[in-house]
């Protein structure tokens, strides 16, 4: 059987999914940190960067789709198109996310007020929807078994949260000087526990992706991703080891280094798996017999 690879989506679409996932994950993790009262400045920074990354990702998506000046067409299929629904969700997230996070730099009490938490909660729900959305949008390509598989939204969800956490981990050393050793260890410990849970979730989802055997086209797609999957899994396992090591030692200096390295690994693995999924969009062309 001769297979063909889709060429409608390329690197710009991968950047949209990568940056959008980082933004959604960074906001979700930052929101959790702020509710727990841990490293407030790191939490607020993550929540501000979340909508910014999503907005930049949308620009790449519009460039991939054609002319950004015709972006209004994105919302013409809300009833049937996941791309249209996702565009609306992302715009609402940018509005609510910035509406909650930005005032936190000069009005910290806003973040814990009733109105602030209400706005932030809406933004959190939208962020979690975006995390899964990048897998849902691909499900519309029914002719591509890998994209239309049930595991892709779940893999997208865990990839988004892992990369968002990776962003906060990688920038966290810059904030440790603002806090005492006890608060840094406590906050990094929470991030480490969350990271371990998310990494395990993504590893399980990746195993599910590889173990499925929908048809020959799906198997061919997964086989073409073999190198990318191995690299991503290695990054996840190394990050898992570093976070576990930081938790076991429980010292600020070790946390700084393990956070920086594990965060970088999560970001690198996230982009690799996003791009490889787009590249593995194989389908069996319809042959017309005369």
What is the signed CA dihedral for 233, 228, 270, 128, rounded to 10 degrees? -90
Give the contacts of 91 (CB within 8 A, at least 6 positions apart): 58
CATH class name, domain 4-283? mainly alpha
Domain extents in the chain: 4-283
The pLDDT-based confidence of 251 (bands split at 50, 70, 90) is confident
Express as a percent the part of the chain with pLDDT over 70: 84
**Helix 151-171 crosses helix 40-65 at what angle (to 10 degrees)?**
130
pTM: 0.87
The pLDDT-based confidence of 129 (bands split at 50, 70, 90) is very high
The pLDDT-based confidence of 290 (bands split at 50, 70, 90) is very low
Backbone dihedral angles phi then psi of residue 4, each to the nearest 5 degrees: -120, 150
Written as one string, the DSSP assignment of 173-208 is GGGGGGS-HHHHHHHHHHHHHHHHHHHHHHHHHHHH
pLDDT tens digits for 71-125?
555 555 555 555 666 678 889 999 999 999 988 888 888 888 888 899 999 999 9
């Amino acid at each position: 059987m001769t297979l063909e690879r889709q060429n409608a989506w390329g690197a710009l679409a991968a950047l949209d999914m990568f940056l959008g996932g980082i933004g959604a994950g960074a906001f979700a993790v930052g929101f959790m940190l702020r509710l727990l009262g841990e490293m407030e400045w790191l939490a607020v920074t993550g929540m501000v960067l979340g909508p910014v990354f999503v907005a930049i990702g949308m620009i790449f998506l519009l460039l991939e789709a054609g002319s950004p000046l015709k972006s209004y067409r994105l919302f013409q299929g809300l009833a049937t198109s996941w791309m249209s629904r996702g565009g609306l969700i992302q715009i609402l997230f940018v509005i609510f996310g910035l509406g909650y996070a930005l005032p936190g730099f000069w009005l910290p009490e806003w973040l814990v007020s009733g109105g602030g938490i209400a706005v932030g909660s809406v933004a959190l729900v939208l962020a979690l929807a975006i995390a899964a959305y990048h897998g849902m949008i691909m499900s519309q390509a029914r002719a591509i078994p890998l994209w239309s598989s049930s595991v892709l939204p779940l893999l997208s969800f865990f990839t988004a949260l892992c990369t968002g956490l990776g962003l906060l981990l990688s920038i966290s050393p810059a904030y440790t000087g603002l806090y005492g050793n006890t608060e840094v260890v406590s906050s990094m410990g929470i991030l480490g526990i969350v990271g371990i849970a998310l990494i395990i979730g993504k590893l399980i989802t990746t195993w599910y992706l590889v173990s499925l055997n929908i048809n020959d086209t799906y198997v061919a797609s997964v086989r073409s991703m073999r190198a990318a999957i191995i690299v991503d899994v290695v990054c996840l396992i190394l990050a898992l080891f570093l976070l576990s090591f930081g938790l076991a030692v429980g010292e600020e200096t070790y946390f700084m280094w393990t956070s920086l390295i594990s965060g970088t690994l999560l970001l690198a693995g996230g982009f690799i798996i996003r791009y490889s999924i787009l590249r593995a969009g194989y389908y069996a062309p319809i042959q017309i017999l005369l």
